Each structure stands twice: as C-alpha cells, then as structure tokens.
Amino acid sequence: MSPSRILVLNSGSSSVKYQLIDMADRSRLAAGLAERIGEETSTVTHQPLAAGGERRTRTGRLADHGAALGAVAEELAADGLGLDSPELAAIGHRVVHGGLRLTEPTVVDDAVLEEIERLVPVAPLHNPANLTGIRTAQRLRPDLPQVAVFDTAFHSTMPEHAARYAIDTETADAHRVRRYGFHGTSHAYVSRKAAELLGKDPGEVNLIVLHLGNGASASAVRGGRCEDTSMGLTPLEGLVMGTRSGDIDPAVVFHLKRVAGMDADAVDELLNKRSGLLGLCGDNDMREIRRRIDAGDRAAALAFDIYIHRLKKYIGAYYAVLGRVDAVVFTAGVGENAAPVREAAVAGLAELGLAVDGELNTAAGREARLISPGYARVAVAVVPTDEELEIAEQTYALVAPSRAAPTPGGAAPESFST
C-alpha cells in the first residue's frame, strides 16, 4: 500500500493545531492542539480519533515550536501513529501569506522558504510562526515532502480592479501594497461544498461566502473563482470581527497620532486587538453577546447591530459585483452556529430574493444545509468549514496526484475547529 496519511499542521505564534488524516478514506486518525508555547505552562490536548480513545492533556513547559512538535510526535506515537510511520505521505502546512508568487500548494524547498520569509513584513504575526513549523517538521522528517498551502491562494484570481487600492501605483508596487485576502482555504472548501449542496458544478454557481469566526471575511465567488474578498493587505480590512475593527477611515490613524499621540504600534494594537465586538461591548464571543442582549444589555445590542450592518453592506456589495447570486453561504464559528446573526444579516433583503426560514435556521445540525424557504430565489446555506481537510486534500493531490480524488469526507471533529 502506498502511504496515504497526511499530517496537517497549523502553526500560530504560540500554538500548533494538528490533524492526522488518512486520505484513503478521508478518516481522521487524531487531532490536537499544543498551546501556550514558550510560556511557563504549556499544554498539549490530544484526541485519538481512529479507535475512539480518550482525550489526553499533558502540561509542562514547551520552550519553542520544536519542543511542541516533539510532544505532538510523542502523543501520535503513543497511539501507534508516530511520525516515523511509513504510512505518512506528507506534512501539509497552513501558511498565511503566499503573496503574488505562491498561489498554488507547493512542495517546500529553500526557494519557497525564502519567499515565505520575504513576505514577513506583510504578515508579521503569521508567516514567522508558519516558517518555524515547517523548519521543525523538516528536522523531524527530512525525507518527507513538506507542502505549504496558502491562505491567500484562493484569492489570487481577484482581478486587478478588486485587488488594487486606489493609491499611487509606484508606492504600492514598491512595497507590495495591495489586497491579498485571507481565509482562502476555507472559502475554497466552502464554495465547493456549497455547489455540491446545490447539486451543481462549482463552475456554474455564483456565491457570497461569509466566513464568520473570530476573524471574519466575505468573498464573492463566480464559477469557483474568487472575484473579491473583504480582507486586504492584512486580515484587518472588511467585516467587524471579534477584536478587529474591519473597515475604517484610514484618517483615524493620523487623527489618533495627532490628538492622542499614539504611534503606529499603538494604533495597530488598538485596531487588531481592542476593537471589533470586544472594543464595542467588552465581549468578543457571539454567544455571550447574545446572552447579554437577551438580558437587555444595550452596549451588546449596539455591537450586534454594528456587526450586522457591516455584514449587510458586504452582502449588498458582492451581490452587485456578481450580478447574479445563487447562494449566500455562512460558515465558521459564528456563521455555523449563530442563527440570530444569519437571520439579521438577510432580514429585509426579500427584494434581492433573500430570506431564511425560521425553523430551518434554528434547527440544530452540523451538516451542510439550506436554511432558505423553498420559494426564495437565492439559496441561503450553512456549510461547516474544514480547513484541515482542505489542506490535506491539496497536499495529497500534490504528492499522490493519481490517487487523490475529491470524495465526500467524514465530519470534522467538533473540537479544534477553525
């Protein structure tokens, strides 16, 4: 049997999320999370999935990503799934920024590492952690293909008129200032699944995909290709998010510098970490915000209204960009779970053919499903995202092209979702 297992690694600045997937039948063998890397007490939470084993948590200091991956390797080995297994075909890495050159899943070599490094100035929080993850995995299994799958890749089809900011071209080009978009792996996966749900070929459908997690982004997808997306040079642009402001008049930055003496780092921190829902009402978890609204809290209600107003503006904008829309698709933590968000986002848009059915919208479910009434001209759908499976698919297609075939995958494990 040729090797068919893919280890998917998503390395953040202080965490590594992982899943081991057998591409022979798309089954999950294990999933887990190493977190608080570099702090006094780090933890590894490991869930064996193949034999239905118990979840295990180990604590202790993990000084760096090398130590964290070492601990992950030990957990996998304890289940007989060690990294030395001949059944492991490749390691697939989520890499946030691939820039203009890295627009396809790529087997990592020195030139690829250099390019990811060159992009650090436009992804200072993410690319360094992704690089560390790849380098550590290379040390653990130097003989194995390491594949980088880029968050920006799906958006590389954006036409220039959507990708360029209206600023001086020379300055923009000199510093690579343009719109790249993020969450691409999720938008790609969800677009394909939504087409499947509609019983159509992805090439035939136009979609507005709303990835609403802690980070949030919208995209306009025509015939399986991204035509516009709400995140830009960085993941700060666009929708109101858990802690990020999304769209804002850039003059706010100069204003705060002049009147409050805030330098670039201070404003960066404000807009990325102390804004969005958190900045507006003190909570960034939509569950808590809904609880507070139900208890009559006005700050939470206003934060919700601001969140929905922005979402609606993007739905309208992308409707206009696409001209014809087959479905509006909700995904990620908020999109998959928060019925009130879905209801409010399309409320009043009947003239555009958009509506949700109250019962379908509030019915529990983890499957891809339609929540619009039968009469609606435009479908509204909930499609759970699965970035790990998508990374594994793309990695496997690259290392075992003759055997990779898009077959329906099993459901993602409930924990460790994106």
Catalytic positions, written as ranges: 151
Retrieve residue 94's tokens: 């989520």
Return the number of the residue (106 or 229) whose C-beta is nearest ligand ADP: 229
DSSP designation for 157: G
CB contact burial 149-173 (16+ within 10 A = b; e otherwise): bbbbbbbbebeeebbeeeeeeeeee
Retrieve residue 98's tokens: 């691939």
Number of residues that bind ligand ADP (CB under 6 A): 14
Tell me which residue has tokens 């995140």. 231
How many residues are present in the chain?
418
Return the number of the residue (272 or 337) whose C-beta is nearest ligand ADP: 337
Residue 226 CB, nearest approach to ligand ADP (Å): 19
Residue 273 CB, nearest approach to ligand ADP (Å): 14
Q: Is 332 in the site for ligand ADP (CB under 6 A)?
A: yes
Return the number of the residue (88 or 271) whose C-beta is nearest ligand ADP: 271
- 337, 360, 373, 404: residue in contact with ligand ADP (rule CB under 6 A): 337
Q: Is-contact 282 299, C-beta < 8 A?
A: yes
- 156, 229, 394, 418: residue in contact with ligand ADP (rule CB under 6 A): 418
Residue 215 CB, nearest approach to ligand ADP (Å): 5
- 3, 213, 384, 409: residue in contact with ligand ADP (rule CB under 6 A): 213
CA-CA-CA-CA torsion for 396, 127, 246, 190, nearest 10 degrees? 0
- 95, 129, 308, 334: residue in contact with ligand ADP (rule CB under 6 A): 334
- 3-class DSSP state of 121: helix
- Binding mask 266-305 toward ligand ADP (x if CB under 6 A, else -) reads -------------------xxx------------------
Query: Is 286 annotated to bind ligand?
Result: yes
Q: Is 35 in the site for ligand ADP (CB under 6 A)?
A: no
- 29, 89, 122, 338: residue in contact with ligand ADP (rule CB under 6 A): 338
* Cα–Cα nearest to 391, from 92, 31, 25, 47: 92
Residue 341 CB, nearest approach to ligand ADP (Å): 7
* Cα–Cα nearest to 119, from 161, 213, 170, 182: 182
Return the number of the residue (112 or 286) whose C-beta is nearest ligand ADP: 286
Query: Is 215 annotated to bind ligand?
Result: yes
Enumerate residues 6+ apart whose C-beta is below 8 A from 354: 315, 328, 346, 372, 376, 377, 378, 380
Query: Is 387 annotated to bind ligand?
Result: yes
Query: Is 357 annotated to bind ligand?
Result: no
* Cα–Cα nearest to 238, from 289, 175, 187: 187
Query: Is 296 annotated to bind ligand?
Result: no
Return the number of the residue (99 or 235) whose C-beta is nearest ligand ADP: 235
- 130, 152, 214, 245: residue in contact with ligand ADP (rule CB under 6 A): 214
CA-CA-CA-CA torsion for 369, 370, 374, 378, nearest 10 degrees? -150
User: How far is the C-alpha of 408 from the C-alpha of 380, rounded, in Å?
Assistant: 21
- Binding mask 241-270 toward ligand ADP (x if CB under 6 A, else -) reads -x----------------------------
Distances (CA, A) of 239 to 153, 229, 265, 310: 20, 10, 22, 6
Binding residues vs ligand ADP (CB under 6 A): 213-215, 242, 285-287, 332-334, 337-338, 417-418
